[in-house]
Structure 1
């Protein structure tokens, strides 16, 4: 079928001429019209309507496209004028007071992932959560004023640094010879806590110097020591522990206690490093990991300063609680070769001040004089939240009692020193190792994002 458009420009109209479309015969309207002729008429009408409609649609579409184009050009021109105006006013604006960075509250009222504690376990959990859920929003609340850092260098590598400013830089050499900071990540790694709910791709925020003092597990909320409340979807308790003290020290007067260091944090390292340069004798009480590490570190320094380092403990040898006898004996000899005076089978009875020195009396009658004491006799897990949260504390090992998946409740996990977990091979236990904090924190983070993995790791130490 061939159709021709004829434009009549004088009348501004368009005529459609089609040889197959002729005016209907009068006979088609007569009662005697044939069925074939009627069908042909319907066919012609349909074809004609389709052609006419197509032309009208094309015309309308072109007209609308032109209108959209003109509208777009107008908007671009207006936007350019606005930018030019802003640039011209830039000089005056730069001299005006800067607007506040954010109008959001300093502490978010809600977070999907809340981590209580700012140590190794909490940081490992945060990394694990973000690895499995790249858009996750994680908030760490830490009582420590410092950003998350690794503790082992405080009793080992930092003491062997040749940098006179090591107490400020906190840089140490790793086993491969490369230097790094004890902080897991620099401040730029963390997002501002007030912006955490609004950042497109989430992130990890931290509130330092803040302590969670109350936990409502039914309402999924916690209260900070400043009265701030935060709600959560899932929570990790990684509160760690506090250094245990000796009963003999607690019973002694303040004149004794002010000359005792309970070694745990960065501030303790800085204080003890200064003290080690000022006194003639330091005594470490405790024969475990921390006590033996500090004894070796201070003993090596004492070889150049001429000071005395004493280590005493109730066991027969260093690491006597965790090593077989032959390895314990080897370790003790190693510590002695570092210049440490090892006093084994020593149970402290009392401590007092005598002639401006500390006098340590042992139960077997022996006496030891020293200028300063470092108590390294283990940790007491921080379980203060158990009362308000209604969580179970293990009566034998201490710590929050959790299952093999480190769960205390359906949306609450515990990791690190504060977790008393069920080991599928060794039964119920609680571990105080850096390696355990890393692995248990990582596993808790995985389980908080949907995994259901049991804890099977056997911690190593160095």
Structure 2
């Protein structure tokens, strides 16, 4: 029989940091990480940056030797089918049971499917396997269409263009990143993309995908040997919801210690809607830095150490030669102002007199 211990579902930054943090404080309690991804744990931000662009990038988070050294069991390519809160067990495919004293859910998010005829042929960019397929496909493509004007779409499009692929970015918004950063920033990002060799078509939706082209709702088509779907992600809270944990807006509701509505169960990363003590309200987050911090807090809380999420969320994006760094709550704003300087520009977002976000582009 498997001994109970500290169990993590998910091998991303939240899950691994939780396991590492807990192990540092409890060297004898069994620690297990169960991951559906068959690959060794890797960093995702470089996938749409250096890796896709063909540059060397460090992807590995920890080696197999690291897991052995720290006595952390890593189960890869395993699907969790059910969480038994009453019995305090995680049940994986085949009916194997993993009893827990403490459980951290770090299931991340899943790509939003492209729901148009032929949409299944579009390649996502969410996992290492996705990035490998996409990079190989780019080598045999003369033209590409990236669907989605968010951060990942912009990064992927600029990388494909840098590889010599004639790349078009298509989005329903009139300019890229409009919903997140506003029209004025979006116009500047469109210029960055153009300078990187990317053609941008805004204010239109894709209606169909074929082997040779992408059809738009304007009645026109865009040639495409390669199609990339960057239509966003959706938090993966299915296991938690099925188990009966409290959820809201598709995420698991947790407090500032990442504790869910069930005893000894925590959630962190994309799937969590966590209370931030600095913001004084719950804040959704979908970025690597925040997932790492939330995983650290979950590990500390499970280990019986004082911890609370207070950091301001932040992330960065690379488009061609430009780096965009944002720090803030990302929950909307009422007004924004841009300040130019010799190295780029800074945008300050406000609600009333309160600064709710700052974007730096250089």
TM-score computed with the length of structure 1 as normaliser: 0.64
- Aligned-partner Cα distance in 2 for 1:244–1:157: 24
1:158 counterpart SS class: coil
CA distance in 2, matches of 1:161, 1:308: 16
Corresponding position: 1:359 with 2:214? yes
Of 14, 22, 37, which aligns to 1:129? 22
CA distance in 1, matches of 2:233, 2:209: 24
Per the TM alignment, residue 202 of structure 1 is displaced from its structure 2 partner at its CA by 6.3
Contact 1:155 1:297 in 2 (8 A): yes
Residue 411 in structure 1 maps to residue 264 in structure 2: yes
Offset at 1:352?
4.4
Q: Is the 8 A contact 2:110 2:234 kept in 1?
A: yes
By percentage of residues, which structure has more helix? 1
Q: Which residue of 1 aligns with 2:328?
A: none
Following superposition, the deviation at residue 130 of structure 1 comes to 2.2
Provide the aligned C-alpha RMSD in A.
2.0
Aligned residue for 2:154? 292
Matched, 1:277 2:129: no
Match of 2:103 among 232, 235, 238: 235
CA distance in 2, matches of 1:322, 1:309: 23
Partner of 1:144: 37
Q: Secondary structure at the match of 1:284?
A: strand
2:4 pairs with 1:117:
no
1:383–1:400 Cα contact (<8 Å) kept = yes
**Secondary structure in 2 matching 1:270:** helix
Q: Give the match for residue 113 of structure 2.
A: 245
Which structure has greater strand proportion?
Answer: 2
The aligned residue for residue 461 of structure 1 is 315
The aligned counterpart of 2:72 is 204
Instruction: Decide whether the 8 Å contact of 1:281 with 1:370 is kept in 2.
Output: yes
User: Does 2:193 align with 1:335?
Assistant: yes
Distance 1:130 1:222 in 2: 19
1:364-386 per-position Cα deviation (integer Å, ceiling 9, x unaligned): 44433322211111112222213
Q: How far off its partner does 1:452 sit?
A: 4.0
TM-aligned CA deviation for residue 415 of structure 1: 0.4
How many residue pairs align between the two structures? 314
1:42-93, Cα deviation, whole Å (9 max, x unpaired): xxxxxxxxxxxxxxxxxxxxxxxxxxxxxxxxxxxxxxxxxxxxxxxxxxxx
Deviations 1:379-428 (A, max 9, x none): 1222221344211221x3x1112122211123000001111222341633
Structure 1: stretches of 5+ with no match in the other structure: 1-107, 163-170, 173-180, 192-200
Pairing of 1:22-61 with structure 2 (within 5 A):
none
| Aligned match of 2:288 | 434
Q: 1:157 aligned to 50, 54, 68, which one?
A: 50
TM-score by length of 2: 0.81
Unaligned runs of 5+ in 2: 317-362
**Aligned pair 1:263/2:117, yes or no?**
no
2:87 aligned counterpart, secondary structure: coil
Distance change in 2, residues 1:352/1:284 (3 Å): closer
2:119–2:208 Cα contact (<8 Å) kept = no
Distance in structure 2 (CA, Å) of the matches to 1:434 and 1:261: 22
Q: 2:65 aligns with which of 180, 184, 188?
A: 188
Deviation of 1:316 (Å): 2.7
Q: Distance in 2 between matches of 1:457 and 1:295?
A: 31
